[in-house]
Structure 1
Amino acid sequence: MSKVAETVLEVDLGALRHNYEFLKSTLRPDTKFIAVVKAFAYGHDSRRIAPFLEKLGVDYFAVAYTSEGIELREAGIQTPVMVLHPQSVHFDDLADHRLEPCIYSHRILSLFLETAKTRKMDAYPVHLKFNTGLNRLGFGEHEVERVVTALQEQTNIKAVSLFSHLAASEDPDEEVFTRNQIAAFRRIADNFEKLAGYRPLLHQSNTSGILCHPDARFDMVRSGIGLYGYGNDEIKDRLLRPVGSLKTVISQIHQLEKGDSLGYNRGYIAEKTTMTATLPLGHADGIGRQYGKGKGHVSVNGQKAPIIGNVCMDMLMIDVTGIDCKEGDEVIVYGKNPTAEEFAATANTISYELITGISRRVKRVYIE
């Protein structure tokens, strides 16, 4: 890999392929795979990630919002796309682009049925979400009969899948809670089949569910963070490869003397002669102020360099005292060392927040 000359997010498509194939290897051959590419494919650009995954053979894509699904269609994606959190104002756009809504409440069911009838749809595919303990979205277990009745009164839409979401599948301390969620989903599926006369595809597992709970894989699984290299567990992480590496360069090096200050609000005061480097990367790029003042660190020529002072909008400063470096040298913010998980942990957050927050103004470079 060549050294970078500006701030870039390097996206390793070979690592993406590895992660997909590893996750697939844990499943039965007939288990379908939903690739979650919401939030700009977790910051890696869904317009490039989804076509690559489509060629690898994923069965479904999942996005959060209708606009994200439209972006996939405009990128040429033909694979079915489910919209996890659709809003009624977008139903016509959703239908125009052959996107499949996840129906999670009686209000959304009623409003989508209105759209389906107005557009004279016939058995349009929808996905029914049931709440088994996460308590964000979904019908309750006691509402299965009411949902089935609503479906049986028309022919405009058809439930092609039932799904739920595990709340703490990576946490061994919540094993009982997870087992109860899985059992509740089984009851919901059995009751739906009994009342409706058919059994849609079932899916409940996220990445941690795939890796930790084989009995929750059902007919399909959904993977987001795992595709991008993180398994929510130190041991599982070793089986995956980080897809994104955020890199930048040293713009300028300064020597501070004892008592000199650095950055806005004099966020750092030198206690001794200190060499600092300024990087073209800031909170407008996704590296928030919470990483400043010595919490976060980056890698310069293989050595750890702490972020000092307050992170600026377009720049941040690091302490390079004792590190052999010069202006123009490459700096690794996260990738293999430190990983996004390790970098995020310095600010008491998680890899999800970090990688999905990398601004679109950061150039993406794709390698394989």
Structure 2
Amino acid sequence: MADPRETVLEIDLGALEHNYRYLKARIEPKTKFLAVVKAYAYGSDSIAIARKLEALGVDYFAVAYTHEGAFLRDHGIITPILVLHPQPVNFDQLIARCLEPSIYSDRILKAFQEAAKAAGQRHYPVHLKFNTGLNRLGFREEDIPHIAMKAQQSEALKVISLFSHLAASDDRSESVFTHAQIDRFKSIVKKISGKLDNKPFLHLLNTSGILNYPEAQFDMVRSGIGLYGYSNNPDLDQELKPVATLKTVISQIHEITPGESVGYNRAFTARNKCTIATLPLGHADGLGRIYGNARGVVSVNGQKAPIVGNVCMDMLMIDISGIPCDEGDEVILFGKGHSAEMVAASAKTISYELITGISQRVRREILP
């Protein structure tokens, strides 16, 4: 019998280094590498991840929101940090922590110009984001004359990069659309380049772009999910190592007779005699109800066991019939040997949603 432990999310920094070096090997040596560490570094531990990547020589970090970047700065991270979705209410904090905003609309451009000027800034670095087809954030090509003029008129700002975001770089059936985005970005760069005093660096590719469209790497690439062990391609996933492994233990084992039910609302009723194990984690820990009723599968001593009944707030139950195990034994929810991509797909979602959703009440354990 294994020693009883608790639910823990293991963060393997060795796996992170492996993934970083693998992705770096797919780009030109001169191409800069930006690591996306938003959402607690994709649900893991943003400080541990950022410190490791900084030691490995990463060129840039990116976060979604200002407070995420401020948190990194407050823990000693000195590498440049791009804030992808800044809001005007946070501009004073952003400037105080030397974070670099993505400027994606006229409203944000005007507000940041005012904030930078009020703070006595001169040539504060900003990144202009353009919408090439994702239709989420970004200026359009026809906005170039207006935004170039406003940027040039402001002594407070300096445009240091131009970028966009691919919509379907992981889907080979959408290659025509992706190439159209790449061409649109090139057109934007050509039109704006002569309107700026300096030469901004360019970045477009995400993880799938790095792997599928390396010819469009420009001056820098941005990687998120690939660093954490997933590539959106089952074949390429074999080359990467999951950084996070969610583990828990068996709290109790029950023998269930035909006709007995398990969990809230009697969502599972046994047709045959079966053995049920209860685990100490639930939807408050990030394993949502979508994984209940056999849509989610866990690993017990190397064998797959389906989740039965509805996932509870702090517990879930699995069917361990025929699997040799005891109370206190370890159970893997996702990670090494039990891919988060596979677990998520069984519930008709994606690995991003699963790994970023793990609650902060789950203890993180950092492995070197």
State TM-score, norm by structure 1.
Answer: 0.98
Structure 1, residues 88-145: CA drift from partner, whole Å, max 9, x if none?
0000010011100000000000000011111111100000000000000000011111
Q: 1:114 to 1:186 in 2, by over 3 A?
A: same
Give SS of 1:226's match. Answer: helix
Query: Deviations 1:165-214 (Å, cap 9, x if unpaired)?
Result: 00000111111100010001011111111222432010000000001001
Task: Please give the alpha-carbon distance, in whole angstroms, between the structure 2 residues aligned to 1:122 and 1:345.
Answer: 49
Give CA-to-partner distance per residue, 1:300-333, whole Å, 9 cap, x none.
1111111000000000000011111110000011
Match of 1:202 in 2: 202
In the alignment, which residue of structure 2 is the partner of 1:325?
325
> Counterpart amino acid of 2:367?
I
Match of 2:344 in 1: 344
**Aligned-partner Cα distance in 2 for 1:90–1:58:** 26
Shift of 1:3: 7.0
Following TM superposition, by how much is the alpha carbon of 1:235 offset from its aligned partner in structure 2, in angstroms?
Answer: 1.5
Following TM superposition, by how much is the alpha carbon of 1:337 offset from its aligned partner in structure 2, in angstroms?
A: 2.7
Query: Residue 125 of structure 2 corresponds to which residue in structure 1?
Result: 125
- Superposed, which structure 2 residues align to 1:254-333 within 5 Å? 254-333=254-333
**Counterpart mapping for 1:233-272 below 5 A:** 233-272=233-272
Tell me, yes or no, if the aligned pair for 1:127 and 1:159 is still in contact at 8 Å. yes
The residue identity in structure 2 corresponding to 1:128 is L
Match of 2:194, SS state, is helix
CA deviation digits over 1:35-68, x for unaligned, max 9? 0000000011101110111000011100000010
Change (3 A) 1:159 1:3: farther
Judge conservation of contact 2:3–2:328 (CA < 8 Å) in 1.
Answer: no
Q: Check conservation: 1:189, 1:199, Cα contact below 8 A.
A: no
- CA shift in 2, pair 1:3/1:219, >3 Å: farther
User: Is residue 301–residue 330 contact of structure 1 (8 Å, CA) maintained in 2?
Assistant: yes
Q: How much does 1:157 deviate? A: 0.5
Q: C-alpha distance in 2, partners of 1:159/1:196?
A: 8
Paired residue type of 1:29: P
Q: Whole-Å Cα distance in 1 between the matches of residues 235 and 270 of structure 2?
A: 39
- Structure 1 counterpart of 2:91: 91
**Identity percentage over the alignment?**
60
**Partner Cα separation in structure 2 for residue 203 and residue 263 of structure 1:** 50
Instruction: Report the number of matched residues.
Output: 367
Matched residue of 2:354: which SS? helix
Point out where structure 2 has 5 or more consecutive residues left out of the alignment: none
Q: CA RMSD in A?
A: 1.0
Which amino acid is the alignment partner of residue 31 of structure 1? Answer: T
Letter in 1 for 2:86: P
CA distance in 2, matches of 1:156, 1:197: 14
Q: Distance in 1 between matches of 2:290 and 2:229?
A: 24
Partner residue, 1:187: 187
For 1:22, the equivalent position in structure 2 comes to 22
Query: Which of structure 1's runs of 4+ aligned residues deviate more than 3 A?
Result: none
CA distance in 2 between counterparts of 1:45 and 1:26 reads 25
Q: Residue 35 of structure 1 contacts residue 58 of structure 1 at CA under 8 Å; is this kept in 2?
A: yes
> SS where residue 62 of structure 2 aligns?
strand
Separation of aligned partners in 1, 2:139 and 2:110: 13
Residues in 1 aligned to 2:119 and 2:244: alpha-carbon distance in whole angstroms: 42
- Structure 1 gap segments, 5+ residues each: none
What secondary structure does 2:42 align onto? helix
Letter in 1 for 2:347: A
Return the letter of the residue paired with 1:159: V
Partner of 2:70: 70
Cα distance in 2 for residues equivalent to 1:272 and 1:210: 50
Cα distance in 1 for residues equivalent to 2:120 and 2:198: 23
The AA in structure 1 aligned to 2:139 is F
CA distance in 2, matches of 1:127, 1:314: 43
The DSSP-based 3-state class of the residue aligned with 2:175 is: helix
Q: Distance in 1 between matches of 2:296 and 2:154?
A: 56
